[in-house]
């Protein structure tokens, strides 16, 4: 950002963009649509990814964060869409 420029924070984007929660694809957790002023968030994918990451921390408490991240990526990539949705729905029911 240029010096003296207006600083924008992520929360400021909500003033200009709508947010939609829906499935995009397994590989895409969020997507920006500038022309429509919309951000689409793959809520199920995000939940499953984060929960898998924390699950791996629980299973391997001494493992370095970089390795947990790498394992999360591998584990998540092997999950099917159905497994992701089932896990996300189970997480949502726990609230």
Structure tokens at 69: 């991240």
Do 35 and 60 sit in the same domain of this protein? no
User: Residues 31, 69: one domain?
Assistant: no
Co-location of 37 and 48 in the same domain: no
Q: What is the CA radius of gyration of the chain?
A: 17
Is residue 2 assigned to a domain? no
Q: Are residues 36 and 49 in the same domain?
A: no
How many domains does the chain divide into? 2
Q: If we measure between CA atoms, which residue out of 73, 38, 31 comes closest to residue 52?
A: 73
Spatial contact of 41 and 21, defined as CB atoms under 8 Å apart: yes
Same-domain status, 72 and 59: yes
Whether 55 and 17 share a structural domain: no
Look at residues 3, 82, 4 and name the one whose alpha carbon lies nearest to residue 44. 82
Indicate whether 22 belongs to any domain: yes
In this predicted model, what pLDDT tens digit does every residue of 35-84 receive, in sequence order? 999 999 999 999 999 999 999 999 999 999 999 999 999 999 999 999 99
Q: What is the pLDDT of residues 3-25, one digit of tens each?
A: 666 788 999 999 999 999 999 99
Residue 37 φ then ψ, to 5°: 55, 50
CB 29 within 8 A of CB 49: yes
The answer to whether 24 and 31 have CB atoms below 8 angstroms apart is yes
Are 57 and 86 contained in the same domain?
yes
| This prediction's pTM | 0.83
Whether residues 37 and 50 share a domain: the answer is no
In a domain, residue 70? The reply is: yes
Domain of 17, in residue numbers? 10-41
């Amino acid at each position: 950002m240029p010096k003296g420029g207006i600083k924008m924070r992520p929360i400021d984007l909500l003033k200009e963009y709508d947010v939609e929660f829906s499935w995009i694809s397994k590989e895409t957790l969020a997507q920006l649509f500038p022309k429509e002023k919309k951000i689409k968030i793959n809520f199920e994918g995000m939940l499953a990814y984060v929960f898998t990451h924390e699950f791996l921390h629980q299973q391997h408490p001494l493992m370095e964060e970089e390795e947990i991240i790498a394992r999360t990526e591998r584990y998540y990539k092997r999950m099917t869409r159905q497994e992701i949705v089932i896990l996300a729905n189970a997480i949502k029911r726990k609230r």
